[in-house]
Structure 1
Amino acid sequence: MASEEPGASPTDAPQSQDGLTGRLAAFADEHAIRSKGALGLPLVVTDHARTMGLPLDPARLRTEKEGQVLGLGKGKVQQVLARHGIDRVLAEEGGRTSRGSMGKMTAYVALLNELYAEGDSALDLDQVEAFWISRVQLFFAGKPLVMRLDPQASLRTAFRNLFEQAGVRQRETPGTMVVGTVLQHLVGAKLEGAYGQVEHHSVSTKDEGQSRPGDFSIGDLAIHVSTAPGEALIRKCQTNLSGGQRPVILTLGRGVTLATGLAENAGIADRIDVFDSHQWLAASALDHGGDSPQARAYEIGQLLEIYNRIVETTETDPSLKIILATGRV
């Protein structure tokens, strides 16, 4: 991290480019400004500093409904990005409802005010904004997930390791749904490979209000994808049954036991199918390419090719893509 030259006083000269960049980088690290929602916050607050002037009063950046940052939504974020020739959507929700947004906003306002007070000339907000734009560009160029096929391990293990990797990334960027997104689009890719054209949706798009019986609808099948099945999902399954549809739940690990137990309590356990997605995805690859390592790698490669295309068309985070690697680490 860049720092001020030895012996230099903050008030002796305007903020140097390296010094300002270092302070902003330190703030980004301390407050985990890495995810799509989190990156929108400093862009919007910096824009408020342009219009309201410095020093900023954080109270003016709170909406009347406590818990939301003024202007922190898709429209304002995209307006700032457009000034730099970026038309890709950073986040549909713009970060407005992310946990901790108010605290991060207050801390960032404090940093801007501190930087303003330290300099003997106006803080260069163009430079500040350029720093956050560079972070957005790094985000868009984020590294994809990696699925590794180890000839000494089962395919189920390969899928389980992939989801564990997604879980680590999700924990590193609170408020994201990496595991759920990867699961839904892998399921969608498998269904498209088996049935042809399938309608795909962003994970942030809810079934309710969309006239959709589930995440996927194929013939009389209403397919639900969930990392944590709950009573609301079971009620959807009951609605499916009432409408003459056959509900299928695809989940992970303990979600199978949870969904089965809830279905038993609702009296519909013998009318719905519940599958562990690790096994379901692995079984499909074995069914179509189980006679050799090369054939299995080809089948997984085809699955990921469809998956990556779905991510490109439905999501805004390219780091959700998956690349295939073979051999032991």
Structure 2
Amino acid sequence: MSAPSAIEDAKALDLEAALTHFAEAHGVRSKGALCLPLVVTDHARVMGLPLDPNRLRTDKEGQVLGLGKGKVQQILARHGIDRVLAEEGGRTSRGSLGKMSAYVAFLNARSAEGAFDLDAVEKFWIARVREFFAAKPFVLRIDPTLSLRSAFRHLFAQAEARQKEMQGTMVVGTIMQHLVGAKLEGVFGATIGHHSASTKDEGQARPGDFNIGDLAIHVSTAPGEALIRKCQANLASGQRPVIVTTARGVTVAAGLAENAGIAERLDVFDVEQWLAAEILDRAGDSIVGRNQAVVQLLDRYNAIIGKVETDPSLRIEVAAAGRGG
């Protein structure tokens, strides 16, 4: 290897190490967080370095300039990626302005040390995007020595752990909503409407996360007074509200419903128990039957994820006890 080539390789490794440190220090792991350095690096390419962070704030100083789905997808397309990274392009990620200022400072500091390759910087973030899309899915372990409810509890524990690692995301709520949707689809067929977990209910046109006949089904990890008000609105319009939530959420929702005077008109279910009961109802008389029912549930769930979400790491695989997954 020639001396100049060795020097260039050392510089590239040093830059990659510095970018890796920045990503870890500032939590650039989630889909929204990854959008920001892509857009800011593109600004650096156009505006040149050093960058003025004040020029990268919108007029109302509430968002990062150009941080949206269109710009992010344009950058990804340069690298042959047509999958959607984030519908909002990272616009709703918490602390975007602070991360932008920190990343601008990083780029400016590197630039002050001498010329460096912005193409290499962009390729680093593109590699992180590819890793994100290829992320390992969640695993639901089927263990005949444990209850089905325990299997779902362990699954949600994985989701809670990932949610803590990727602050600002709603991993648990997303998985819960689409598992509920998968169960309902298995019972009522393909007429069930599925929406991204980031899509909010919109008035009485969509009175719940799922609407089946006169049922308005709400899925929530943390039911509060606003949800109880929606249930009251459901009742006022002749609908039957149902809340599917966590074990802790059941107690909270029941108390709020009691205070609102609708406790006897509102059904509240623990999602783990609700999903387990469905498996037992459909195929509870044999291990093989139960396992097949779980696989069918997750097949429907994964199909929903592929249709309405942009993060393939939300997929769930089945693993038998004693095997890797």
Q: Same fold per TM (> 0.5)?
A: yes
1:45 aligns with 2:40: yes
Select which of 70, 83, 86 maps to 1:75: 70
1:171 is aligned to: 164
2:51 is aligned to: 56
1:241 is aligned to: 235
Sequence identity (%): 69
Q: Distance in 2 between matches of 1:328 and 1:194?
A: 31
* Structure (1 or 2) with the greater helix fraction: 2
Q: Distance in 1 between matches of 2:34 and 2:252?
A: 35
Q: Distance in 1 between matches of 2:95 and 2:75?
A: 22
Q: Distance in 1 between matches of 2:267 and 2:311?
A: 32
Q: Distance in 2 between matches of 1:13 and 1:181?
A: 44
Q: Distance in 2 between matches of 1:261 and 1:46?
A: 50
Q: Which amino acid letter does the alignment assign opposite residue 155 of structure 1?
A: L
1:274 is aligned to: 268
1:320 is aligned to: 314
2:27 is aligned to: 32
2:281 is aligned to: 287
1:258 is aligned to: 252
Instruction: Identify the range of structure 1 (56-65 vs 163-172) with the bigger mean alpha-carbon deviation.
Output: 56-65
- Measure how far apart 1:14 and its partner are: 9.8
Q: 1:279 to 1:188 in 2, by over 3 A?
A: same
Select which of 112, 128, 149 maps to 2:121: 128
Contact between 1:151 and 1:328, CA under 8 Å: does it hold in 2? no
Q: Distance in 2 between matches of 1:246 and 1:283?
A: 21
Select which of 185, 188, 195 maps to 2:181: 188
Structure 2 counterpart SS, 1:248: strand
1:304 is aligned to: 298
Q: Distance in 2 between matches of 1:249 and 1:280?
A: 11
Q: Which amino acid letter does the alignment assign opposite residue 309 of structure 2?
A: E
Contact between 1:36 and 1:90, CA under 8 Å: does it hold in 2? yes
Structure 2 counterpart SS, 1:16: helix
Q: 1:108 to 1:281 in 2, by over 3 A?
A: same
- Measure how far apart 1:147 and its partner are: 0.4
CA deviation string 1:81-104 (max 9, x = no partner)? 111121111001111221121221
1:140 is aligned to: 133
- Measure how far apart 1:217 and its partner are: 0.5
Select which of 143, 152, 174 maps to 1:150: 143
2:88 is aligned to: 93
Instruction: Identify the range of structure 1 (68-77 vs 249-258) with the bigger mean alpha-carbon deviation.
Output: 68-77
CA deviation string 1:1-38 (max 9, x = no partner)? xxxx9xx9xxx989722121111111111111110000
CA deviation string 1:246-302 (max 9, x = no partner)? 111000011001111111111111111000010000000011111122211110000
Q: Which amino acid letter does the alignment assign opposite residue 146 of structure 2?
A: A
What is the aligned-residue RMSD (CA, Å)? 1.7
Unaligned 5+ residue runs, structure 1?
A: none
Unaligned 5+ residue runs, structure 2?
A: none
Q: Distance in 2 between matches of 1:270 and 1:136?
A: 48
Q: 1:168 to 1:219 in 2, by over 3 A?
A: same
Q: Which amino acid letter does the alignment assign opposite residue 109 of structure 1?
A: V
Contact between 1:186 and 1:307, CA under 8 Å: does it hold in 2? yes
Select which of 173, 181, 203 maps to 2:197: 203
Q: Distance in 2 between matches of 1:299 and 1:233?
A: 31
Q: Distance in 2 between matches of 1:243 and 1:209?
A: 12
Structure 2 counterpart SS, 1:63: coil
Q: Which amino acid letter does the alignment assign opposite residue 152 of structure 1?
A: T
Contact between 1:38 and 1:95, CA under 8 Å: does it hold in 2? yes
CA deviation string 1:182-240 (max 9, x = no partner)? 00000000000000011100001111258211000111111000000011111111111
Instruction: Identify the range of structure 1 (73-82 vs 42-51) with the bigger mean alpha-carbon deviation.
Output: 73-82
Give TM-score scaled by structure 1 length: 0.93
- Measure how far apart 1:123 and its partner are: 2.2
Q: Distance in 2 between matches of 1:18 and 1:180?
A: 39
Structure 2 counterpart SS, 1:325: strand
